[in-house]
Each structure stands twice: as structure tokens, then as C-alpha cells.
Structure 1
Amino acid sequence: MKLALLCVGKLSAPYLRKGAEDYSGRIRRYLPFREAELKEEKGGGKKADPRYIRDREGERILEKIPRGAFSVVLDEGGKALRSEELAGLIDRHMVQGTPELVFVIGGAYGLNDAVKKRADLVLSLSAMTFTHQMARLLLLEQIYRGLTILRNEPYHNT
């Protein structure tokens, strides 16, 4: 099985880039992993139109989710999972032979309804709100943690 992360926007802060690169490298030790950064949409004028931005970004996201992939979309209204439950999700898809597990993080204005409807799982990282850039680092850490749980490695202390 392959893992993928689709994100809107680039990581702007050096500490976020460094952390994301570190966890991406760790994930690649376990499974093939790719990341795709999609361009952030401009507001289309002086005042940003969040709906317009979400819709344009959503179109680009949907084009990048491969047919047959299981998609996990991050949204504050999604289901919260413990680290062990995320590990179980990854494990089930590895055993079932899912070709690709794709995680999706929207831009600054979130995701449109079409992307959420396409999702096989809508996931929340926390009841708190994070920037989409911070969510990326947190998600990568949790994917790595899940993989170490599956291997019964000491990174995850229960």
C-alpha cells in the first residue's frame, strides 16, 4: 500500500518545513509515501471570497485523488481518533490491499462540500483549531506514530 498527503499551500515557516521533512522521511522507511502541494487560490479581487477559494481549491484536490484510493480528509467537524485507532485504520487498509491511502488537508479557508463528500473518512485532529500548516506537521507525526505502533516500536509509549 502507498500513502499520500495532498495539501493546499506550501509550508512557510522553516521549523514547520524541517519537521515535515523529518516525519516524511521517517514514514518512507515503512511505506511508499508521496506529498503533493497544491497551489493556494487567490481571492479574485480586493476582498477574499472564501467560498470561491474553497471551490477552486476543491476542484484541484479532487483531480489529484486517484480512483480506488481511500481518502481521509481533515476537517474540524470530523471524527476524532486516538493514535491507536489511526494505526488500526492504516493496518486494515494494508491487510485489505487498498492501493493508496490519501490524506487531504485544505487551505486557509478549509474544504468545500464536494471534497468532504468524496472522503471515505472525515478526520479531526483535535477539538481545537490549527492552521492548515500546523495540521500538516501534526498529521505527519501521527501517521509516523501509527506506523511505529503497528511495528510495536518504542516511539509510542502507552
Structure 2
Amino acid sequence: MKLQLICVGKLSEAWQRAAAEDYEARLQRYFPFEVTELKEEKGGRKNDPAGLVRREGERILAKVPAQSYLIVLDERGRQHSSEQLAELLSREMVQGGRDWTLVIGGPYGLDPAVRQRADAVLALSSMTFTHQMARIFLLEQLYRSCTIIRNEPYHNR
């Protein structure tokens, strides 16, 4: 099983990159893991958020492997506890074995076509986070899930 994270936009701050790189390295101990960063669409003179999101959505879907279990992050998605996310990951490892692709959209969100393709829509919180912070939080939760599955001491139960 392989994990892929598709993100719109880069991490702009050094501390964000350091945190993401740390969790990416930790995840590599459990799974082959890859991050694909897509360039944010720019508004130009005519700021058209719907058009930006649609174009980003087309580029996202072009990067999603056909057989991958697709999880998109969206504030309207379903919230899971850390244990529930670990259970979902564990169940897929044992029963499905499909690779996972996780998607974090850009500042204007995700195109409805990406949500429609998704096998699951996940919300990290009912609060709104920048897409850069969502990336760090998601990486940490994926790592935490791995430690829960392996009964390692990172997660305090």
C-alpha cells in the first residue's frame, strides 16, 4: 500500500516545510509516501474563484491514479477521531490494499468534481485552517494513525 498526498500550493514558510518534511520522513517508515504539489491558479485581473477551483480540480484529477482510494479534505467532510482514522487505514491495509491518495485543495477550496470522485471526504475540524496548516495536521494524523496501528507509544490513549 502506498500513500500519495496531492496539495495545491507550496509551503511558504521554512518552519512549515521543516514540520512537513519531518512527518513525511516518519511516514516513510510505514509506507511508501509521495507528495505532489500543484501550482495555485492565479486570479489575474478578473478574479474568478469558481474558474480557479475548476482548473485546479482538473489538474488534481489528472494526478489521481484510477484505482486509488481517494480521500479529499473539506471542511464539510466527516470528522474522525485519531483512532477512527487509524481504524480506516488499518481496514484498508488488511482488506482492500488499495493505494491511498489524499487531496488538499487551495485557498478557494475544491472543485465539486473532485469531491464527486472521492471515496471519502474528511474534515480535520469544524474550524477553518489554511491549506498549509491542514497539510501539516494531516501528515501528523497519518503518522499518529501508523503508531496507533502498530501500538507504538506516540499516541497517548
* TM-score strictly above 0.5: yes
Q: Where on the TM-score scale, by shorter chain, does this alignment land: which range?
A: over 0.9
TM-score, normalised via structure 2 length = 0.98
Residue 9 of structure 1 corresponds to: 9
Q: Does 1:23 align with 2:23?
A: yes
Residue 86 of structure 1 corresponds to: 85
Residue 40 of structure 2 corresponds to: 40
Offset of residue 65 of structure 1: 0.6
What per-residue deviation string (whole Å, max 9, x for no partner) do you get for residues 17-71 of structure 1?
000000000000011101100111111x324211011000000000111011000
Offset of residue 72 of structure 1: 0.5
Which residues of 2 match residues 54-65 of structure 1 at below 5 A?
Answer: 54-65=53-64
SS at match of 1:129: coil
Q: Which runs of 5+ in 1 are unaligned?
A: none
SS at match of 1:35: strand
What per-residue deviation string (whole Å, max 9, x for no partner) do you get for residues 92-121 of structure 1?
111124331111000010001000000000
User: What is the identity percentage for the equivalent residue pairs of Structure 1 and Structure 2?
Assistant: 61
RMSD: 0.8
Runs ≥4 in structure 1, deviation > 6 angstroms?
Answer: none
TM-score, normalised via structure 1 length = 0.97
Q: Does the 8 Å CA contact 1:69/1:98 hold for their aligned counterparts?
A: no
Residue 115 of structure 1 corresponds to: 114
Offset of residue 78 of structure 1: 0.2
SS at match of 2:100: strand
Aligned residues: 157
The whole-number CA distance in structure 2 between the counterparts of 1:38 and 1:72 is 17
SS at match of 2:51: helix
Amino acid at match of 1:4: Q
Residue 127 of structure 1 corresponds to: 126
The whole-number CA distance in structure 1 between the counterparts of 2:97 and 2:108 is 30
SS at match of 2:47: coil
The whole-number CA distance in structure 2 between the counterparts of 1:23 and 1:61 is 23
The whole-number CA distance in structure 2 between the counterparts of 1:47 and 1:140 is 34
The whole-number CA distance in structure 2 between the counterparts of 1:144 and 1:28 is 9
Residue 101 of structure 1 corresponds to: 100
